């Protein structure tokens, strides 16, 4: 997060640039709908009291969505995605699917693979 100077917000307020992630839903067989976190940038406009007066940004670009889609396809093709609730289990998995409190299934990193190409890590 970057704290901008007081004049950046105009009218005596401040603005904050914030990095976050926003989940985007992809449908992939045999997994069904999976949410993938995509990095986004937001700008929070603060009033003179320090309260948030507006939020801008926060949506991933089409290119970011396409890159996340390709990344998810690569995880699946390389057996790097484990589904604890389904029949798709992989000992090579670097990522897993976690169910959140709202019932969504989100792809999360479980571990890194330090193996050589073509060899399980």
Check residue 115 and give its pLDDT.
63
Tell me what percent of the chain is helix, strand and coil, each rounded to the nearest 5: 15, 40, 45
Check residue 60 and give its pLDDT.
95
For the chain, the C-alpha Rg in angstroms (whole number) is 19
For the segment 59-90, what is each residue's pLDDT rounded down to a tens digit?
A: 999 999 999 999 999 999 998 999 888 766 77
Full-model pTM: 0.74
Please give the structure tokens belonging to residue 99: 């169910």
Pair 53, 37: CB distance under 8 Å: no
Pair 48, 33: CB distance under 8 Å: no
Whether the CA torsion 9, 14, 19, 20 is positive or negative: it is: negative
Check residue 118 and give its pLDDT.
54
Tens digits of pLDDT across the chain (121 residues): 444 444 444 455 689 999 999 999 999 988 999 999 999 999 999 998 889 999 999 999 999 999 999 999 999 999 899 988 876 677 788 999 999 999 999 999 988 876 655 554 4
DSSP state of 39: E
Q: Which backbone phi and psi does 65 adopt, to 5 degrees?
A: -65, -40
Check residue 71 and give its pLDDT.
97
């Amino acid at each position: 997060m970057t704290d901008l100077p007081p004049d950046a917000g105009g009218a005596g307020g401040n603005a904050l640039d914030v990095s976050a992630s926003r989940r985007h839903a992809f449908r992939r067989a045999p997994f069904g709908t999976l949410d993938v976190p995509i990095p986004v940038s937001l700008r929070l406009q603060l009033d003179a009291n320090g309260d948030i007066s507006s939020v801008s940004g926060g949506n991933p670009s089409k290119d970011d969505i396409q890159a996340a889609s390709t990344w998810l396809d690569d995880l699946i093709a390389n057996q790097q995605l484990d589904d604890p609730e389904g029949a798709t289990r992989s000992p090579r998995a670097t990522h897993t699917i976690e169910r959140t409190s709202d019932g969504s299934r989100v792809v999360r990193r479980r571990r890194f693979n330090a193996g050589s190409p073509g060899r399980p890590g």
